[in-house]
C-alpha cells in the first residue's frame, strides 16, 4: 500500500491481558477497495492535511487532528483481529490488533 497508518492506544492498566490496542488502516492512491463519498473524501483529506509532514524534529507535535472523524468514517466491522506486538522497539507484546480490510483512497 502507499500508506499504512497504525495507531496504538494504551489504557491506564492491563485489560483482559492486553497492554494496548492498535488499529491499522491502509491507504492507496490507485488500488483502494472502496469508493468514498465527497464527504468521506473530505474527512480523509482534512486528517492528512493536519499532519506535519515536513517536520524533521525527532518529537514532532501536532496541535489537533481529526482522528475521531476518521475513525467514525472507517468500516470497523470488516477487519482482521489478532494478538500481536507493537511495531517499534522494544516491540512490546500482548497488543490487541485491529487491521481494517478496506483500503481507502489517498491523494
If one counts the domains in the chain, the total is: 1
pLDDT in tens, 32-71: 999 999 999 999 999 998 887 777 777 766 677 889 999 9
Higher pLDDT, 102 or 56: 102
Question: In angstroms, rounded to a whole number, what is the distance separating the alpha carbons of residues 4 and 23?
Answer: 10
Question: In angstroms, rounded to a whole number, what is the distance separating the alpha carbons of residues 78 and 45?
Answer: 22
Task: Name the pTM for this structure.
Answer: 0.85
Q: What is the pLDDT of residue 103?
A: 97
User: Where in the chain does DSSP place strands (E)?
Assistant: 3-9, 20-28, 79-85, 93-105
Which CATH number fits the domain that encloses residue 92? 3.10.200.10
Q: What is the pLDDT of residue 6?
A: 93
- In this predicted structure, the answer to whether residue 22 has a pLDDT above a threshold of 70 is yes
- In this predicted structure, the answer to whether residue 31 has a pLDDT above a threshold of 90 is yes
pLDDT in tens, 80-101: 999 999 988 989 999 999 999 9
**Domain of 41, in residue numbers:** 3-105
**5 C-beta neighbours (distance < 10 Å), count:** 18
41-to-31, 64, 107 alpha-carbon distances in Å: 15, 19, 10
Contact present, 102 and 74 (Cβ < 8 Å): yes
Could you give the residue ranges of the DSSP H alpha helices within 22-106? 38-49, 67-73
41 burial (CB, 10 Å; 0-12 / 13-18 / 19+) is middle
Amino acid at each position: 500500500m502507499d500508506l499504512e497508518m497504525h495507531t496504538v492506544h494504551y489504557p491506564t492498566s492491563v485489560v483482559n491481558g492486553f497492554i494496548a490496542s492498535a488499529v491499522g488502516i491502509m491507504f492507496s492512491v490507485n488500488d483502494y477497495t472502496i469508493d468514498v463519498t465527497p464527504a468521506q473524501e473530505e474527512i480523509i483529506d482534512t486528517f492528512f492535511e493536519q499532519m506535519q509532514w515536513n517536520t524533521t524534529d525527532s518529537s514532532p507535535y501536532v496541535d489537533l487532528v481529526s482522528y475521531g472523524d476518521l475513525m467514525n468514517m472507517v468500516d470497523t466491522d470488516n477487519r482482521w483481529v489478532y494478538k500481536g506486538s507493537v511495531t517499534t522497539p522494544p516491540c512490546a507484546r500482548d497488543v490487541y490488533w485491529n487491521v481494517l480490510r478496506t483500503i481507502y483512497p489517498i491523494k
